């Protein structure tokens, strides 16, 4: 750009900056995004300004292995969660078969199970000394492992299977909400054009739900990148396991931050690929016809296949581990309850509830401010703030400590200078630091979910409301929130359940002598004392069950024109119809 062209564009740039400074929604969205992104910036600063030369050693030794393993893990978990989450969401939304109403909420149950707990349970069941292999040896008369082959659970394939069983509800939640909010007109048009249910799903329903599905899969991949408990226990060399190894064993926070910055590149690449693939397309429902969705009654073999497809992830992701944990908990509940178990439970509920409320408010403000025309600066800031979800909790906790410590030092210096009184550390090592760390990581969940919900509302509706004298605040309160209340509740549930399970960040940022259920469970589970930690793990699971059920019912009723409990009313038999 020449000097002359720059001078010619100065008035337009000035007007854009002026609008940015005077628009409360846009400015607020920008400030909130920057506040959430501060820990990520601190991590990047550590990465680009290291105090040692460990990066060259990592790049020449373990970095290629970390890249390969992480990519394979992401690919396997992404494909598995997409197939299970989207497929089950379509079945329970658009088809009728035995048990479909129960599966509407039951499919969400694995969302409340910590991934590392599931890894411990299946290792206990499937290892050589576990009950499954012992039963096989007794039945077949085998004497040792040389006499037969059995898949190794503590492997990359085992990590993919365990993570898929826990993380697919992310895709199911957003896919089901998107299918329920679709207009019946487009589905009717596809049927009048001669498309069978399978063709209508692939050519109409799935493309319309694409933004929500992409957000769900992106959240799954971010959670995959962040997971430490499973990959460490299974000895799988991913970036996250490498970060902990560099930090704990090599005592290099800078090296850990450098590896974490590579994780950020993975996330930015995911976002960029999706944006390029979309190529400016939009997915809006332009019709106001939201009558009850048509359903397809399944019979015979199709009904049996649908039942098995919905039952299998519930059994593997919830019933089996829940049964094992319940058996252990019954045997050791007296020892658990005699301690400070109830205090730990109260601490977890309090932290998770406060964070979920704040994350929804911040995510909604950011998403709505971006929608109102924040421009590329605000959009880039909100996207960057969302990358905190992919940074491992322990590394992001270091990014939280840096600005909070600087703030404490500044306040202490100000108090000493102005009043001659030291104030010490006001925020470091407090619950404020824990909640701030949770927000820095989990705001991406609420922002992504709420942005997808807002994205399904056509902009012409905003324009019509504004011409009738409805301001931005009234437009959000009276038009958008009633339409997207399912997305709001989805965002709150995702943040709440993840806060209940969050471990490394809680361990680092919590006050002294402050325990949560996650830290309590980890103290025993890390020593492979699963029996002693079973009641705490079950409590984490139980806290997510009721919100899951309520959320499923609310999403089902959130569709305008729903009938009954949100179940489709007009049955169309699929017996004999080619898939």
Tens of each residue's pLDDT in the chain, 579 residues: 444 444 445 445 444 444 444 567 788 888 888 888 888 888 777 767 655 566 777 777 778 888 889 889 999 999 999 999 999 988 888 888 888 888 988 898 888 788 888 888 898 888 888 888 888 888 888 888 888 888 888 899 999 999 999 999 989 988 887 777 665 555 555 566 556 565 666 666 677 777 778 878 887 887 887 787 788 788 888 877 777 777 667 777 667 767 777 776 776 676 676 666 555 555 455 444 445 555 678 888 888 999 999 999 999 999 999 899 899 888 888 877 877 788 888 899 999 999 999 999 999 988 888 888 767 888 888 878 877 777 777 778 878 888 888 888 888 888 888 887 877 778 888 899 999 999 998 998 888 888 888 877 877 777 777 777 777 778 888 887 888 887 888 888 888 888 888 877 888 888 888 889 888 887 777 677 778 778 888 888 887 776 666 666 666 665 555 544 444 444 444 343 333
User: Residues of 328-364 as b/e, b for ≥16 C-beta within 10 angstroms?
Assistant: bbeebeeebeeeebeebbebbbebbebbbebbbebbb
Asked if 440 and 359 touch (Cβ cutoff 8 Å), the reply is: no
Q: Which region, left, alpha or beta, applies to residue 114 given φ > 0 means left and ψ of -120 to 50 means alpha? A: beta
Give the span between the Cα atoms of 283 and 181, in whole angstroms. 12
| Residue 420 phi, psi (nearest 5) | 75, 20
**Per-residue pLDDT, 168:** 93
| Residue 295 phi, psi (nearest 5) | -120, 165
Of 518, 513, 568, which is closest to residue 540 (Cα–Cα)?
A: 518
In degrees, to the nearest 5, what angle opens at C-alpha 409 toward C-alphas 404 and 411?
95
- Token pair, residue 286, equals 């332009």
- Token pair, residue 304, equals 């049996």
How many Cα atoms occupy the beta-carbon half-sphere of 34 within 13 Å? 8
Q: What is the pTM of this model?
A: 0.74
Of 179, 260, 188, 265, which is closest to residue 216 (Cα–Cα)?
A: 179
Give the span between the Cα atoms of 532 and 302, in whole angstroms. 43
Q: How many of the other CB atoms lie within 10 Å of CB of 35?
A: 16
Could you give the strand order of the β-sheet that contains 95-96, starting from the edge strand earlier in sequence?
95-96, 295-297, 571-573
Q: What's the start-to-end Cα distance of the chain, in Å?
A: 56
Residues in the chain: 579
Q: How many of the other CB atoms lie within 10 Å of CB of 545?
A: 17
Instruction: State the SS3 of 379-396.
Output: HHHHHHHHHHHHCCHHHH
Q: How many of the other CB atoms lie within 10 Å of CB of 18?
A: 10
Give the span between the Cα atoms of 233 and 394, in whole angstroms. 17
Q: Is 64 exposed, middle or buried (0-12, 13-18, 19+ CB in 10 A)?
A: exposed
**Per-residue pLDDT, 52:** 56
Give the span between the Cα atoms of 316 and 321, in whole angstroms. 7
What dihedral angle (degrees, nearest 10) is formed by the CA atoms of 400, 405, 408, 410?
A: -110
**Per-residue pLDDT, 569:** 43
Of 543, 546, 485, which is closest to residue 517 (Cα–Cα)?
A: 543
Asked if 84 and 176 touch (Cβ cutoff 8 Å), the reply is: no
**Per-residue pLDDT, 474:** 80
């Amino acid at each position: 750009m020449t000097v002359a062209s720059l001078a010619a564009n100065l008035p337009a740039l000035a007007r854009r900056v002026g609008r940015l400074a005077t628009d409360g929604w846009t400015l607020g969205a920008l400030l909130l995004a920057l506040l959430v992104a501060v820990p990520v910036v601190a991590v990047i600063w550590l990465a680009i300004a290291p105090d040692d030369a460990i990066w060259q050693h990592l790049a020449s030794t373990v970095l290629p292995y970390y890249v390969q393993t992480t990519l394979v893990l992401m690919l396997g978990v992404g494909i598995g969660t997409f197939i299970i989450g989207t497929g089950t969401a379509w079945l329970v939304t658009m088809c009728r078969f035995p048990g479909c109403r129960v599966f509407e909420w039951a499919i969400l149950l694995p969302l409340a199970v910590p991934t590392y707990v599931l890894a411990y349970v299946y290792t206990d069941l499937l290892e050589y000394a576990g009950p499954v292999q012992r039963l096989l040896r007794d039945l077949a008369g085998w004497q040792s492992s040389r006499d037969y082959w059995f898949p190794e659970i503590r492997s990359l394939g085992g990590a993919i299977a365990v993570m898929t069983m826990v993380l697919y509800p992310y895709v199911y939640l957003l896919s089901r909400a998107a299918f329920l909010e679709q207009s019946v007109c487009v589905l009717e048009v596809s049927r009048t054009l001669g498309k069978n249910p399978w063709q209508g799903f692939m050519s109409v329903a799935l493309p319309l739900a694409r933004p929500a599905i992409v957000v769900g899969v992106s959240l799954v991949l971010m959670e995959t990148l962040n997971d430490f408990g499973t990959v460490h226990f299974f000895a799988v060399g991913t970036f996250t396991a490498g970060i902990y190894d560099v930090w704990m064993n090599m005592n290099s926070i800078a090296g850990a931050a450098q590896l974490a910055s590579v994780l950020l590149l993975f996330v930015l690449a995911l976002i960029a690929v999706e944006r390029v693939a979309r190529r400016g397309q939009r997915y809006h429902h332009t019709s106001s016809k939201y009558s009850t969705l048509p359903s397809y009654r399944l019979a015979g073999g199709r009904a049996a296949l649908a039942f098995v497809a919905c039952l299998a992830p519930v059994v593997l992701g919830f019933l089996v581990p829940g049964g094992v944990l319940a058996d252990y908990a019954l045997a050791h509940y007296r020892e658990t309850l005699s301690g400070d178990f109830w205090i730990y439970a109260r601490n977890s509920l309090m932290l998770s509830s406060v964070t979920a409320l704040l994350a929804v408010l911040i995510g909604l403000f950011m998403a709505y401010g971006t929608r109102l025309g924040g421009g590329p600066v605000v959009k880039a800031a909100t996207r960057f703030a969302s990358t905190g979800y992919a940074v491992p909790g322990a590394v992001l906790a270091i990014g939280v400590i840096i600005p909070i410590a600087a703030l404490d030092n500044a306040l202490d210096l100000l108090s000493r200078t102005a009043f001659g009184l030291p104030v010490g550390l006001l925020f470091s090592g407090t619950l404020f630091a824990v909640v701030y760390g949770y927000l820095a990581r989990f705001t991406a969940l609420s922002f992504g979910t709420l942005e997808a919900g807002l994205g399904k509302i056509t902009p012409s509706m905003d324009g019509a409301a504004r011409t009738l004298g409805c301001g931005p605040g009234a437009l959000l309160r009276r038009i958008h929130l009633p339409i997207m209340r399912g997305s709001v509740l989805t965002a709150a549930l995702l943040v709440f359940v993840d806060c209940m399970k969050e471990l490394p960040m809680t361990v680092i940022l919590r006050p002294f002598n402050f325990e949560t259920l996650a830290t309590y469970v980890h103290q025993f589970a890390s020593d492979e004392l699963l029996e002693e930690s079973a009641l705490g793990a079950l409590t984490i699971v139980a806290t997510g069950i009721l919100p899951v059920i309520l959320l499923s019912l609310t999403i089902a009723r959130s569709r305008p024109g729903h009938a009954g409990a949100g179940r489709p009313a007009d049955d169309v038999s699929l017996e004999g119809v080619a898939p």
